[in-house]
Amino acid sequence: MPTLVLAVLLLLVFAALDALGDRLPPRARRLPLALYAVALGFLGMEWARWDHGRPEWLRGIGWIGAPVVVIFGGALWGVRKWYGWPDLGPVPGRLAGVAAALLVGVLLGTRAKASDVETTLARGDAVAHDVLAWRDAHGGRWPASLEETGRRAPSTLMGLLDPPAFRYEPDGPRLSFPLSTGRELVRDLSPADAKWKAR
């Protein structure tokens, strides 16, 4: 799905939930948009930790669209509150609040990614240890797959929703996992003390 289409869909969902909130009793009016903001914050955090093959969504919506909406929507909310003009109603302020939740999620996810990578590297080192132990026990022959070593290929910790798996290449032999689309960390397994390198 193109980034622009996704952005329009997010705005349409906002408009529908805003209209729904206006029809609810006063105590529940903010609930639909509050839940939407929480959901967008979580998705923003998830996409910042691992872009799921769609880095353009993170760039276009998380890093460009959300800050622009926060700045202009927040400014319109401020001038309405303190000056009374121009009065475009409560929608710009509500939209800025939802966009701010998305932006906070992206920022928190970016901060969490360093910890995700560190934990994933530790998992990868454990996998490399098992592969090397299997090779030593089988006369120097590399396993054809990670499953052959007796362990199921673990997933990385790059996000919570469908994190990418480690990739083992016996022809290398090497182990790798993606940091983001088009960028990965690779560890050659031939030298037992090899370090992870970006590629």
- Mean pLDDT, the chain, whole residue set: 91
Q: Cα separation of 94 and 37, whole Å?
A: 10
Tokens at 80, concatenated: 């309405």
List, edge to edge, every strand of the sheet that includes 174-180. 167-169, 174-180, 183-188, 197-198
Average pLDDT over residues 105-116: 94
Average pLDDT over residues 93-119: 95
Give the pLDDT of residue 155: 83
- Does the pLDDT of residue 93 top 90, yes or no? yes
pLDDT digits (tens, 9 = 90+) for 132-180: 999 999 888 899 888 888 877 778 888 888 899 899 998 889 999 999 9
Q: Cα separation of 29 and 153, whole Å?
A: 47
Give the pLDDT of residue 125: 92
Q: Cα separation of 128 and 188, whole Å?
A: 9
Give the pLDDT of residue 13: 97
Written in H, E and C, the secondary structure of 20-48 is: HHHHCCHHHCCHHHHHHHHHHHHHHHHHH
Q: Give Cβ neighbours of residue 165 (< 8 Å, ≥ 6 apart).
A: 153, 154, 155, 156, 177
pLDDT band at 35 (very low <50, low <70, confident <90, very high): very high
pLDDT band at 22 (very low <50, low <70, confident <90, very high): confident
- b vs e for 20-40, b when ≥16 Cβ sit within 10 Å of the residue's Cβ? ebeeeeeeeeeebbbebbeeb
Q: What percent of the chain has pLDDT over 70?
A: 100
End-to-end Cα, the chain, rounded Å? 27
pLDDT band at 40 (very low <50, low <70, confident <90, very high): very high
**pTM here?**
0.85
- Does the pLDDT of residue 194 top 90, yes or no? no
Positive or negative CA dihedral for 166, 168, 173, 179?
Answer: negative
pLDDT band at 83 (very low <50, low <70, confident <90, very high): confident
Q: Cα separation of 195 and 191, whole Å?
A: 9
The one-letter amino acid code at 8 reads: V
